[in-house]
């Protein structure tokens, strides 16, 4: 979500940063605990729900969902073994081990024969998985039970990114939509938004400073001496890319969606610009 590589070493990736986040900030994105609780509660799941978290990272969403629903069962999948090992260990520590199954692998290779899910969470990875519309139609919706809901988290531009911001993030301006464009993509994928959270600047600051702090502690306290200078230089570039280029430019929104069949998604989609706008009050 934030600079892929920076500085001379080229060895730093999102994984290098995220795997150093500690229990003080488990979400790999700009979400407070309050936001996660509110959106999970907003899904109003029934009894003994089954929950799938695609790209679950350190398990921030799925493990909290299992805590909020003591009769729920959860499945997480993530391509990173490092994150999954930590998610599984955290599930054990929080007494959720019996109700959580973690798979390491590519989300597209997931077994479809499993029973469907009442809630599918997919926060922060539609872009590497091929785009919002494809992910909704081909990856998420086939895994839902009747009546199941989706929690989808998507980046967007708060304002058009300049060249420096695009380079720092390793993405072109066209890659993400603006805030309104997220709705277009979601509805094109057959999802009807029924609740939405837009990450606040405070959530962004808490998340990004947790990353900077983790890098600083790594470089100052934990890394072998010969690596320290490279890590601290990366930390400083990461921090300054955030403060100067990305803060206020990159946004993030998490939507609770009901899947709709095609005829209904046409009915509930955007009116074209040429159509007369009805009165709403
Ligand atoms: C931005 S992080 C979000 C993690 C988590 N959803 C959260 O909100 O804390 C994206 C996650 O997607 C995982 N990921 C990326 N590509 C993947 C793929 N093809 N299949 C499964 N997981 C993938 C990454 O390892 C990472 O944990």
Q: How confident is the model at residue 47 (pLDDT cuts 50, 70, 90)?
A: very high
Q: What is the pLDDT of residues 215-261, one digit of tens each?
A: 999 999 989 999 999 999 999 999 999 999 999 999 999 999 999 97
Q: Quick one: tokens of 29?
A: 């994105």
In the chain, the number of structural domains is: 1
Please say if the pLDDT value at position 164 is more than 90: no
Query: Per the domain annotation, does 42 fall within a domain?
Result: yes
Residue 171 is assigned to a structural domain of this protein: yes
d(CA 229, CA 64): 37
Q: Please indicate, yes or no, if residue 149 is contained in any of the structural domains.
A: yes
State if residue 252 touches ligand 1 by the CB under 6 angstroms criterion. Answer: no
pLDDT digits (tens, 9 = 90+) for 184-197: 999 999 999 999 99
Which CATH number do you get for residue 61?
3.40.50.150
Mutate to test the pocket of ligand 1, among 13, 77, 78 (most ligand atoms within 8 A of CB): 78
Q: Domain range spanning residue 186?
A: 26-199+251-260
Prediction pTM value: 0.93
Q: Is 5 part of a structural domain of the chain? A: no
- Looking at residue 274, its pLDDT comes to 78
Q: Is the CB of 17 under 6 A from ligand 1?
A: no
* Binding site membership of 123 for ligand 1 (Cβ less than 6 Å): yes
Note whether residue 65 is domain-resident: yes
**Is residue 272 a part of any domain in this protein?**
no
pLDDT band at 277 (very low <50, low <70, confident <90, very high): confident
The number of beta carbons lying within 10 Å of the beta carbon of residue 135 is 25
Tell how far the Cα of 65 is from the centroid of ligand 1, in angstroms: 17
On the question of pLDDT at 179 being above 90, the answer is yes
Structural domain includes residue 162 = yes
Q: Are 117 and 144 in contact (CB under 8 A)?
A: yes
The predicted pLDDT at position 112 comes to: 64
CA-closest candidate to residue 137, choices 7, 5, 265: 265
- Residue 267 confidence (pLDDT): 77
Per-residue burial over 103-127, b if 16 or more Cβ lie within 10 Å, else e, is: eeeebeebeeeeeebbbbbbbbbbe
Query: Which residue is closest in CA terms to ligand 1's atom 1?
Result: 124
In a domain, 208, yes or no: no
Task: Give the separation between CA 117 and CA 139, rounded to whole angstroms.
Answer: 12
**Each residue of 104-146: pLDDT tens digit?**
999 999 886 678 999 999 999 999 999 999 999 999 999 999 9
For residue 154 and ligand 1, the question of a CB distance below 6 A is answered with no
Atom of ligand 1 nearest to the CA of 106: 20
Q: How far is the CA of 267 from the centre of ligand 1 (A)?
A: 33
As to burial, measured by CB atoms within 10 angstroms (0-12 exposed, 13-18 middle, 19+ buried), residue 142 is: exposed
């Amino acid at each position: 979500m934030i600079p892929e590589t920076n500085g001379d070493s080229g060895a730093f990736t999102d994984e290098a940063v995220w795997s150093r986040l500690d229990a003080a900030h488990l979400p790999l994105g700009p979400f407070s605990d309050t936001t996660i609780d509110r959106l999970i509660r907003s899904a109003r799941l029934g009894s003994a729900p089954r929950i799938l978290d695609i790209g679950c990272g350190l398990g921030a969403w799925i493990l909290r969902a299992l805590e909020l629903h003591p009769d729920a069962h959860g499945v997480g999948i993530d391509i990173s073994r490092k994150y999954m090992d930590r998610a599984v260990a955290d599930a054990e520590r929080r007494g959720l081990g019996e109700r959580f199954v973690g798979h390491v692998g590519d989300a597209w290779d997931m077994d479809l024969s499993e029973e469907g899910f009442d809630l599918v969470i997919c926060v922060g990875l539609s872009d590497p998985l091929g785009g919002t519309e494809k992910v909704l139609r081909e990856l998420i919706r086939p895994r839902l039970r009747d009546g199941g809901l989706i929690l989808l988290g998507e980046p967007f531009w708060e304002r058009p990114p300049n060249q420096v911001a695009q380079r720092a993030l390793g993405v072109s301006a066209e890659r993400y939509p603006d805030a309104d464009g997220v709705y277009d993509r979601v509805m094109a994928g057959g999802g009807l938004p029924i609740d939405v959270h837009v990450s606040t600047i405070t959530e962004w600051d808490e998340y990004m400073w947790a990353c900077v702090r983790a890098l600083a502690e790594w470089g100052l306290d934990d890394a072998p001496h010969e690596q320290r200078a490279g890590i601290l230089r990366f930390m400083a570039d990461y921090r300054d890319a955030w403060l100067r280029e990305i803060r206020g430019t990159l946004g993030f929104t998490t939507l609770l969606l009901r899947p709709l069949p095609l005829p209904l998604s046409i009915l509930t989609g955007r009116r074209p610009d040429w159509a007369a706008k009805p009165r709403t009050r």
